[in-house]
A and B are shown apart, each in its own frame.
Chain A
Amino acid sequence: MTSTGAPGASEPRSADVDGKLSLTLRVNGRDHAVRARVHHTLLDVLRSEIGLTGPREGCGVGMCGACTVLVDGRPISGCLLPAVMAEGVEITTVEGLEGPNGELHPIQEAYVAHTGFQCSYCTPGFILATKALLDERPDVTREEATAYLAGNLCRCGSYVKILDSVMDARDRVRDG
């Protein structure tokens, strides 16, 4: 039996016989009861327990940004955060940006309008990084966006159109 004390969990708890802990994660505005071993990452759990496909593993070491999710609005690498430490925070994935009837978020609209992607494996990460950036700096410049997005990698090299998308998204978000 293992036990762990995780931030957000008030008391240490015991794992089940299969080594898994029962957790409650708040993802895209809803609570999800999930089970995870201590070494399972938030990315593992979002995909295998909650069935989300937006967060994706690219490198497993927090360098590529393909698994970017927002934790209380800040972008983090889902592959680096143990799931047991993700209780008590608000987690947002790209699936959480759409409206109730599947309307795209203005940032997503901008990425479609400029085709800011090719294979699009990295796209949810870029879109969430863009969301965090625009929340932080609604009047961001292209140069600032370039520096901010350097932690997200796109091997197809769609960077010009990604920046076009970000600048358009800024205007769409700002001008409502």
Chain B
Amino acid sequence: MANYPFYYLLLPVVAVGYALFMRSHQKKKTQEYDQQYANFRAGPLAQRLGLQLLKGDPTFNFLVTHANQSVARGATDSKAIDIDIEMAGAPFGVPLAFRYLYRVERETGFNSTTYKTWFNCRMVATAKQSFPPFEVTSRNTSLGRIVRQQTLPDAPTHNPAVDAEFQVTTHEPALAQLLGQILPEFSAFGGAGVHLLGEGQQVSFVMNQTTAPMAPSALYYAEVMTHALSTLAQRLGG
């Protein structure tokens, strides 16, 4: 022991101390952000949007997901991350439902660890009548191309500004033309991106975990989303 210089012993202590400090600093920062964006916690967000929280933790923050203990700790072999939130209402006269499902299971093997992830986040407006299927995606987002879910053909909306910003796909030209009138409201999402799916009587705003439009950036415009989706459903299916 005596042969080692003092700083040989000091360095590991400093390193451990720094790691502990950073961990506590990060935790404090997360708490600060959670407070700063408290209006994006499930409870207050539902209230703000005129929806009722039907299921899930009212304190879960959609913008600061790491403020949730289960998410921050991560999935373990014995305990999965399981966030399941549902809201519903009709703030603009059209039934609106929001679903956020995030589940991660972990299995530690001999030489590999497997994570099984389920993620489903969407706001859904239900119209009175069904309409032809369609899909709308932003052409440019800050996170690259949006993953499309349908194989419908491109359809011009005959609104140059909308056609430049969004890719509209449907078999029905009349529907594309109507979308050309309604979609400008969705321009508010900007680089966050827009992904709309229309099927049956439902129009969904689809959000993702790792690709655009990511749930936190899209939910930042939650008020616009509820209003624009309600208008869209109303115009498409009454």
Note whether A and B form a binding pair: no
